[in-house]
Amino acid sequence: MGPFTISLILISITAVLLVWRYLQNNFTYWRKRGVPYVPFWESFLLSSTAMKKINIFEFFEVFYKALDGHRFGGAFQLVYPIIIIRDPELIKTVFIKAFSNFYDRNPPQDEKGDVFNRTQIFQLTGEKWRTVRHKLSPAFSSAKLKIMYQTLSGCAEDLNAHLQTLCSETGQTEIDVKELMSDYTMDVIGAIALGIKCNSIKGENSEFKQIVRATFKFDQRRTIFATLEVIHPKLPRLLGLTSQLPEEEEYLLGITREAIEMRTDSESSSRRDFLQMLMNLRSQELQQRNENPSGEPDEPVFSEDILVGAIGSFLSAGLEPVAATLTFCLYELALHPDIQEKIYLEIKETKGQTLNDISYEDLKKLRYTEQVMNETLRKYPVAGIMARICTEPFKIPDSDVVVEKGMRVFVPLFSIQRDPQYFPEPDRFDPERFSEENIQKIVPGTYLPFGDGPRSCIGKTLNSSSPSSFLLLLLHLLLLLFLSLFSLLLPLLYW
Ligand code: HEM
C-alpha cells in the first residue's frame, strides 16, 4: 500500500468520524439539555413515510401528541434539532413580545437564487424584510383593498353566468367545487393583482393561468428543492435545481415588467389593482424625494425587485389559501343546510328582498357569515404549521432552556386549533364558537389563522376588534358566490 492510499484511507476515516461526531451531537442535543423530545429515529422514520402517507400537518400532529403535557419540546427535521412550541402563552411570547429574537421565518435566501423565490416577503429576512414590509403595508390596508374589490363584480358576473349555464342548459347538478374555486380565485387574484382578465371561469386555459398554477404548485421538484434548502439555502442552486422552471420565471417576470412599463403613463393612475397601488406609492415616494432632496430617506425607492416580489407574494400567497378556504367552507355548508339557511337569512335581512349590490360596509354587518368563515379557518387553517428562526438567543421563561441562534421554531397550529382542550368536539363544524358571547372564551394564542405579531399575514388587521382585510376579502368572495347560488337555487327552496 503506497503513501497516497494510506493518506486517502486516513482522510476518509477522519471525515467519517467527524460526520459521526456531528450527528451524535445533534441526536443527543435535546437529551443533554433535559428537554422532552421526539427521538431522532422516530422523527426520521416519520418524515420518510410522511412524504407519501400523511400530510405535513398530520406529521406535526404526531410531534404535538408525543409532547402532550409539555409547553415545548424538541424533535428533528432531517438531522437538525428543532423546537416545537405548544403552549399558547409561549406562542404569543415568540410571535409578539420576543419578536426581536424571532423575526425571520427562514435562513437568509440565496442572493443568486430565482427572483420570484428570493424576493417574496414571505422569504425575506432581517432588515430587508423590515424595509419591504414597511413599504408594502399601506397597499394592504382595508381602505386600499376596498378600492380593489370594485374590480370583483366582473368576476362574479362570469361566475353567475357560468353557474346559470351549468344548471339550465345541461341540467348538470354536480360541480367540481375545488376546480370551480381555483378558477374563481384565479380570475379574482389576476384582476386584483395585475388587472388581468384571466377568464378561467369561462373555461379559457390562458397561458397566465397555466403558468401561475404550475409555478405555485408544491410538486415533487419543489419538495426536493425545499428539502435541500433546509440543508443550506445555496445547495439547490449548486446542484442546478431552481424552485421555478426558467421558462415559468421568464414568463412571470415578463408580464410583471410589461405591466409596470404600461403603468408609467398618467392615464393608468385611475386603475384599481394592486400593481397600480404600488405604482402610486412609488410615485408619491419619488415626489417626496424630489421635493425634499436633503432629507432623502435611507431606504431605497420601490425597486423593480420589490415590485416583482410583491406581485409574486400576491400570486403565491393569494391563490391557494383563498381557493382552499372557500372550498372547505362550501364543503361544510353542503353538509350543514341549517347553516346555509342562516347565512341566507342574514344576507336577506341586511339587504332586504333584492340580494344585490351588497357594499363593502355591509360585509361588516354579516356577523354570522363571518363566524362561518372564522370556523372554516379554525378547522382548516391554510398555514397549519408556522415557522420562525431564532435570530438572537432566547431563554424560555420559567425554564433553564435557552433557544440558540439559528434554531428552527415550529408552531403546530393545525393541531392546536383542533385540540379538544381549547376547542371542545374539534371535528364538529360549529360557527357558534365565534358568537359574541363565546368568542371571549377562546384562549389567546390558540386561534391564529393569519399568524400573529409583526410577521403575521400582511392582510391581518392589528386591531383585534376589526376583521382582517383578507377575512373581508374571503367574505366578499363568499358573498358573491352565494348571490350566484341563491339567485339560482334558493328561490326554489325559500320563496
Ligand atoms: C385565506 C386567506 C389567507 C390566510 C388564511 C393567510 C394566512 C397567512 C399566514 C398564517 C401567514 C403566516 C403568518 C405568520 O407566520 O405569523 C401569512 C403570511 C403572509 N400572507 Fe397571508 N393569508 C391569506 C391570504 C393572503 C393573501 C390574499 C395575500 C396577498 C398578498 C397574503 C399575503 C401574505 C404575505 C405577504 C405573508 C408574509 C408576511 C411576512 O412575512 O411579513 N395572504 N398568511
| Interface ipTM | 0.97
Q: For the domain that residue 280 is a member of, what is the CATH number?
A: 1.10.630.10
Q: Which of 470, 474, 476, 478 to mutate to test the pocket of ligand 1 (most atoms within 8 A of CB)?
A: 470
pLDDT for 91: 98
| Cell numbers at 465, concatenated | 376588534
Report residue 280: phi and psi, to 5°: -65, -40
Considering the entire predicted model, what is its pTM? 0.88
Which residues carry a binding-site annotation for heme? 457
410 lines ligand 1 (CB under 6 A): no
Q: Which atom of ligand 1 is nearest to the CA of 452?
A: 16
Judged by DSSP in three states, 73 sits in strand
CA distance 96 to 99: 5
pLDDT for 175: 80
**Residues pairing with 372 in the sheet:** none
386 lines ligand 1 (CB under 6 A): yes
Ligand 1 centroid to Cα of residue 377, in Å, is 13
CA distance 93 to 84: 14
Burial class (CB within 10 angstroms; exposed 0-12, middle 13-18, buried 19+) of 27: middle
pLDDT for 416: 98
452 lines ligand 1 (CB under 6 A): yes
Tell me if 86 is assigned to some domain: no
pLDDT for 159: 81
Burial class (CB within 10 angstroms; exposed 0-12, middle 13-18, buried 19+) of 112: exposed
Tell me if 340 is assigned to some domain: no
pLDDT for 493: 43
pLDDT for 420: 97
Q: Which atom of ligand 1 is nearest to the CA of 383?
A: 10
pLDDT for 306: 78
Which residues carry a binding-site annotation? 457
Tell me if 265 is assigned to some domain: yes
Tell me if 16 is assigned to some domain: no
133 lines ligand 1 (CB under 6 A): yes
Tell me if 185 is assigned to some domain: yes
Where is 245: in which H helix or E strand? none
pLDDT for 490: 47
Tell me if 258 is assigned to some domain: yes
Ligand 1 centroid to Cα of residue 207, in Å, is 26
Burial class (CB within 10 angstroms; exposed 0-12, middle 13-18, buried 19+) of 44: middle
314 lines ligand 1 (CB under 6 A): yes
Q: Note the Cα 318 to chain centre separation in Å.
A: 7
Ligand 1 centroid to Cα of residue 285, in Å, is 25
Distance of CA 368 to CAs 76, 342, 390, 484, Å? 42, 8, 39, 19
99 lines ligand 1 (CB under 6 A): no
CA distance 411 to 202: 40
Q: Which residue owns the Cα nearest ligand 1 atom 9? A: 450
CA distance 201 to 185: 9
Residue 447: closest CA among 138, 182, 91, 119: 91
Q: Note the Cα 146 to chain centre separation in Å.
A: 20
Q: Which residue has the cell 360596509?
A: 361
CA distance 102 to 264: 39
Ligand 1 centroid to Cα of residue 385, in Å, is 13
- Strands of the 408-411 sheet, one edge to the other: 72-77, 80-85, 408-411, 386-389
455 lines ligand 1 (CB under 6 A): yes
449 lines ligand 1 (CB under 6 A): yes
Tell me if 490 is assigned to some domain: no
pLDDT for 250: 83
Where is 79: in which H helix or E strand? none
CA distance 480 to 187: 13
Ligand 1 centroid to Cα of residue 307, in Å, is 17
Count the domains in the chain.
Answer: 1
Q: How many CB atoms lie within 10 A of CB 41?
A: 10
| Cell numbers at 361, concatenated | 360596509
Tell me if 179 is assigned to some domain: yes
- From first to last of its 495 residues, the chain has per-residue pLDDT tens of 778 888 888 888 888 888 888 888 888 999 999 999 999 888 877 776 656 667 888 889 999 999 999 999 999 988 899 999 999 999 999 999 999 999 999 888 777 777 777 788 888 899 888 988 888 887 777 777 777 766 777 777 788 788 777 777 666 667 888 888 888 888 888 888 888 888 888 877 777 888 887 777 777 777 888 888 888 888 888 888 887 778 888 888 888 888 777 776 655 666 777 888 888 877 877 777 777 766 555 555 677 777 888 888 888 777 888 889 999 998 999 899 999 889 888 887 876 655 556 677 777 788 999 899 999 999 999 999 999 999 999 999 999 999 999 999 999 999 999 999 999 999 999 999 999 999 999 999 999 999 999 999 887 765 555 566 677 777 778 777 776 666 555 444 443
User: In which domain, by residue range, is 198 found?
Assistant: 139-318
382 lines ligand 1 (CB under 6 A): yes
